[in-house]
Amino acid sequence: MNALFSFEKKAYHIVVIDSESMDYGKIMDEMTNASSKGFRKFAIHVISKTKSPQYLEKLRSVIQNNIAYTITVRHHNYSEEEVKKLLSMLKNIPHKVLEK
């Protein structure tokens, strides 16, 4: 598992599990909520079996409608154990886990 980049440590992290059935309005709502608290940087972690770069097609509107923010998108094809490691790495960093 890669470590967080230095600017990601100051970002608000959104973990999207099972992106194929995700309502992307939830991501938009979470970004709006976090930006009202002063966040301008976001790291979106997509955990899905969808192959790279197909997951980006699903995130297109999120990226296009939020060009005022710094957005990092990371795709993870993680097992359940690796997801737990990612979440433990984020435990002291502002984040939200979004599932179906």
| Mean pLDDT calculated for residue range 16-22 | 77
How is the chain split into domains, by residue range? 6-98
Question: What class does CATH assign to 6-98?
Answer: alpha beta
The per-residue pLDDT for range 36-78, each reduced to its tens digit, is 999 999 999 988 877 777 778 888 889 998 999 999 998 888 8
Task: Look at residue 3 in the predicted model and tell me its pLDDT.
Answer: 64
Confidence of residue 2 (pLDDT cuts 50, 70, 90): low
pLDDT at 35: 96
Three-state secondary structure call for residue 47: strand
Q: Which CA distances in Å does 19 have to 22, 27, 41, 77, 87? A: 5, 11, 21, 11, 17
